[in-house]
Amino acid sequence: MRMSAILLFANIILSLLFVGCKPEPLNPEPPSPPPPTDVSPLKILWQKPLTQDTMNGIYGSARFVTPGGDILYTTDFTLPSAKVVLLNGIDGSKKWEYQAFAEALLEQHVFQISDHILIHNWRYDDILTPNGQLLWKNKVEEPGGGMPRANVIGDNFYTVHFSGPLPYCTSMSIVRSHYAQLSWDTLVTIQTENDGFYVNLEPPTLWMNPQGDSVLIIRDGGVRASGGANNGKNRASLYAFNLRTRQFDWVQKNIDAGGAVSIAQPLIEGDKMYINGVRTLHCFDLNTGNTIWQKEFPEAIMDGNITVYKNTLMVPSTQIGMWGVDKQTGSILWYNKDVDGNVLLVVQFDGIVYCTSTGYARLYAVNAETGATIWKENSPNRNSRHPNASFAFAGIAIDTVNRKLYTADKYYLMFIALPEK
């Protein structure tokens, strides 16, 4: 007992002697990073299946928002599944569906014309009433076949008819008809010249000149004949056709634009037109047809897929990236390397560029002024159930009034809320 008491007393004395002399504690470990998350910034308000069987994917494309706020979309490009559908824009309920197509391809040319719907498909035109009923259907017989592209200006739609077999046809004509009753009006016919190129017209774009005349800007891609002195070369021409006088105001031929006649409509702002070739962007003066500037890019750029915000033109690459270009000079303002290649549609709204890609099949939002990536997102439905969900070929339609975006991911059409300004 005496020995135990002595040891206890000694321990107490030692502890008192070392008060305030404790060693410094070890530095605490840094906090663990938060676990990765797959939560998407996309605020999806509703989704509607593109097919009844949601296990099977099908390409769907948002086309446009009607003045009444409804959304029109198409599915697939082949029979018998190709269809055009109109949904209530607020709750996604179906209003009508149209599926009576005559041939296998449903081209990406679906327009609202007045309050009707035009579906242009090679030699076929279907006009639907606001309720989705067929008003009339037209087939352009051979010879004089139709082209797969069209454009709507006012209450008329414009397309191209040709003579002789494609691509080596003898002539092409710009024709138009009123939507309410088919009656083709041939506006201008351009013959193939004996210079090694065959005429290859695109549907026109409208420009109002300073005198108030409606002028059609027509592009000719000049299909190259095989072999000969022109083999390996390209040609592009521009025509300004005055609808009042039924004459050309000007013609510019043999433009060195790398075959600069793209499948999309050119961008017209004021008295300037922007159009791209294979690797070159051109700015033309519409009063004269003369080139103001041209800019060559280090790689191929997407056909006609150009949009503008303030002073900046957005030009996507066919490979990777998107450029911001000064619309006055053609100088490059920024380059965004996040955007994947083969961007099929670029839409600008409120200073943000939205696009989809057939590359990684994502949906992108890019700041139009700085080129900074806001987000790049895969479909939120991309999981073990839908591993192929993608925004490829999806199309984008924006409800600018309610600040909503429509797109599709092969399984669902989705309604996405955009951020407030």
Per-residue pLDDT at 82? 85
Q: Are the CB atoms for 323 and 297 separated by under 8 Å?
A: yes
Name, in order, each residue with C-beta under 8 angstroms of 305's C-beta and a sequence gap of 6 or more.
262, 264, 315, 316, 343, 344, 345, 346
What is the average per-residue pLDDT within 19-45? 49
Which two structure tokens, joined as six digits, stand for 313?
């033109």
Residue 397 DSSP SS3: strand
- Give the containing element (helix H, strand E) for 64: strand 60-65
How many whole angstroms separate alpha carbon 155 and alpha carbon 115?
10
> What are the tens digits of pLDDT across the range 173-225?
999 999 999 899 999 999 988 777 888 888 999 999 999 999 999 988 877 76
CA dist list (Å): 185 to 158, 178, 220, 287: 9, 9, 20, 26
What does the block give as tokens for 185? Answer: 């009006």
SS3 at position 36: coil
Mean residue pLDDT of the chain comes to 83
The correct answer on CATH 2.40.10.480 for the domain covering 302-377 is yes
pLDDT tens-digit series, residues 74-105: 987 676 778 899 999 999 999 999 987 776 55
Mean pLDDT of 238-267: 80
* Residue where the block lists tokens 């076949």: 145
Residue-level pLDDT at 140 = 85
What is the sign of the dihedral through the CA atoms of 412, 152, 208 and 220? Answer: positive
The pLDDT of residue 191 = 92
Q: How confident is the model at residue 240 (pLDDT cuts 50, 70, 90)?
A: very high
Distances (CA, A) of 145 to 88, 101, 259: 36, 17, 23
CB 191 within 8 A of CB 213: no
The ranges assigned to domains in the chain are: 41-122+382-421, 140-262, 302-377
SS (H, E, C) 141-210: CCCCCEEEEEEEECCEEEEEEEECCCCCCCEEEEEEEECCCCCCEEEEEEECCCCCEECCECCCEEEECC
pTM listed for this prediction: 0.84
> Is the per-residue pLDDT at 256 higher than 60?
no
Q: Cβ atoms within 10 A of the Cβ of 324, count?
A: 24
Please give the full DSSP string across 318-386, using - where no structure is assigned: SSS-EEEEETTT--EEEEESSSPS-EEEEEEETTEEEEEESSS--EEEEETTT--EEEEE--TT-SSSS
Please tell me the distance from the alpha carbon of residue 133 to that of residue 299, in angstroms, as a whole number: 46
What is the Cα gyration radius of the chain?
A: 30
As a dihedral over the C-alpha atoms of residue 418, residue 419, residue 420, residue 421, rounded to 10 degrees, the angle is: -100
> For residues 206 and 215, what is the distance between their CA atoms, to the nearest angstrom?
6
Pairing of strands 272-276, 363-367: unpaired
Task: Return the residue matching tokens 């009063």.
Answer: 287
